[in-house]
Amino acid sequence: MSFSTDKNEQDQLNKIIISYNTKSLKEALLEANYNRSKAPNLSNFPQFHNIIGLINFRLNDLKQAIFDFETAIKINPNFHTAHYNLGLVYFNTKDLKKSYDCFVKALSIKKDYKLARDKIIELLSFYKPNNNNENQILDLNKKIFNIPCKIDFTKKISDSHMIDYFKKCKKIVSKNLADLSYNKVQIFRKKSIFLNCERHKSIFFKYNTIPEYCFGCFKVVVETKNFFDLLKVSLIFDKIEFFNNFNRKNMIDKRTNEDVFKSIIYCTSLQQVLDVEKKTKKVFETLLDNFTVESKRGCHEYSIKYPEYKKIYKKESELMSFPKKWSNNERKFDLENNKKDIKDQIFVHDTQKGISLHEFLIINNWFKDQKISI
């Protein structure tokens, strides 16, 4: 069966694609329905339902987007892009099993489909499939998890231990993946997958308003003096049980002229961040040299605009509080962008313990960035 379009249908598809890329989503959807009325046979083509699905997905009409992508797949079961897009929607509905299965299906249709491969790799860092949907990526992820990390976490950790461990990881990965490129550069071990950071930042940049949720966001920031100590912190976050109770991040911060090797533990109250800072210092004094630990509040961008926001005091009453008048901007943004209450969007799910394929590929990016060969 052929899915090529005649000239009229192709013209209408091109108009829809142009609208999608250049106009508001609601305008693009109206024009898509208008163009369908001019070329009724468009409904027989999977490409049409795929682009409509993308519009509805971005409009946050997830139920309709699922219908659109499923319609495209019904017309052409081998439409790998539609399987991939359906996986993205299911991820946003928090159905990780269906999301994973869609990405696996897309990759099975198009063996070199890197977008699907990378989403599978990312998902496997916090989702453990309970079905028999075996594939090369899942098998490789298991191999990485099972590499023994023979490091003593009761005393100072040597750089050579880091190199040896990640050399073993790379040897296995290189045998199984032709392409080690990966578009992630931060390790983010999560207790919640959907933290709504994109929403919060959008509100801030549009209205100069810090969302109320962010007034309860505190963090302990660990900065190390060299790259190998960043690697050590990444493993410490995984192996020391205390840190598994928190969202935590490892990264090379490139916002200044010099690389900053930074690790972050996220907290939800002033008392908690002060307690975690104290505990973190005690743990790292045993394992590392030359590091700093500091309590901070929220995102760096917020504190540039509102310096008082970032200040940490001993008492909650001394902190900058959320101006109630800002609530109107939050409500306005959520209505305009079809966002539900933030409480409905927080999805608690532990990141799996152990270095995953996802995390190894990020660390491999770090090695390349630092021009260190393993």
Q: What is the 3-state secondary structure (H, E, C) of 320-369?
A: CCCCHHHHHHHHHHHHHCCCCCHHHCCCECCCCCCCCHHHHHHHHHHHHH
* Angle at CA of residue 161, ends 157 and 165, nearest 5°: 130
Question: Per-residue pLDDT tens for 71-97?
Answer: 999 999 999 999 999 999 999 888 999
The mean pLDDT value for 174-193 works out to 88
pLDDT at residue 58 is higher than 50: yes
User: What does pLDDT average to over the chain?
Assistant: 89
pLDDT at residue 343 is higher than 60: no
Q: What's the half-sphere exposure (Cβ side, CA atoms, 13 Å) at 4?
A: 3
pLDDT at 95: 92
For residue 26, the one-letter residue type is: K
Dihedral sign of CA atoms 138, 144, 147, 152 in order: negative
The mean pLDDT value for 369-373 works out to 94
pLDDT at 6: 65
pLDDT at 175: 95
pLDDT at 277: 96
Q: Are 359 and 351 in contact (CB under 8 A)?
A: no
Instruction: Provide the percentage of residues in the chain whose pLDDT is more than 70.
Output: 92
pLDDT at residue 184 is higher than 90: yes
Range with the poorest average pLDDT among 22-26, 131-135, 220-224: 131-135
Confidence of residue 21 (pLDDT cuts 50, 70, 90): confident
The mean pLDDT value for 119-134 works out to 85
pLDDT at 194: 61
pLDDT at 2: 42
* In the chain, domain spans: 7-139
The mean pLDDT value for 54-77 works out to 95
- Give CA–CA dist 55/64, Å, rounded: 10
pLDDT at 327: 94
Residue 218's SS3 state is: strand
Q: Whole-model pTM? A: 0.88
Range with the poorest average pLDDT among 69-83, 236-250, 328-342: 328-342
Place of tokens 């892009």: 81
- Give CA–CA dist 89/96, Å, rounded: 10
The mean pLDDT value for 181-198 works out to 82
Torsion of Cα atoms, 62 then 65 then 71 then 76, to 10° = -120
For residue 125, the one-letter residue type is: S
The CA–CA distances, whole Å, from 3 to 19, 40, 48, 69 equal 22, 15, 11, 16
The CA–CA distances, whole Å, from 55 to 28, 35, 187 equal 7, 15, 30
**Is 314 or 66 the better-scoring residue by pLDDT?**
66
pLDDT at 347: 52
- 152 DSSP 8-state letter: -
The CA–CA distances, whole Å, from 168 to 164, 181, 229, 319, 374 equal 6, 18, 19, 47, 9
**Is 279 or 33 the better-scoring residue by pLDDT?**
279
- Give CA–CA dist 226/167, Å, rounded: 19
The mean pLDDT value for 53-62 works out to 92
H helix runs in the chain, sequence order? 7-22, 25-38, 46-58, 62-75, 80-92, 96-109, 114-123, 136-145, 159-176, 197-207, 227-239, 270-287, 300-305, 327-336, 357-369
Question: Per-residue pLDDT tens for 204-218?
Answer: 999 999 999 999 999
Q: By C-alpha distance, which of 348, 357, 363 is closest to 187?
A: 363
The mean pLDDT value for 114-138 works out to 88
CATH of domain 7-139: 1.25.40.10
pLDDT at 132: 65
For residue 255, the one-letter residue type is: R
Confidence of residue 1 (pLDDT cuts 50, 70, 90): very low
Q: Are 227 and 261 in contact (CB under 8 A)?
A: yes
Range with the poorest average pLDDT among 68-77, 156-165, 221-230: 156-165
Q: Which two tokens stand for residue 52?
A: 């409509």
pLDDT at 53: 95
Residue 208's SS3 state is: coil
pLDDT at 353: 74
pLDDT at 217: 92
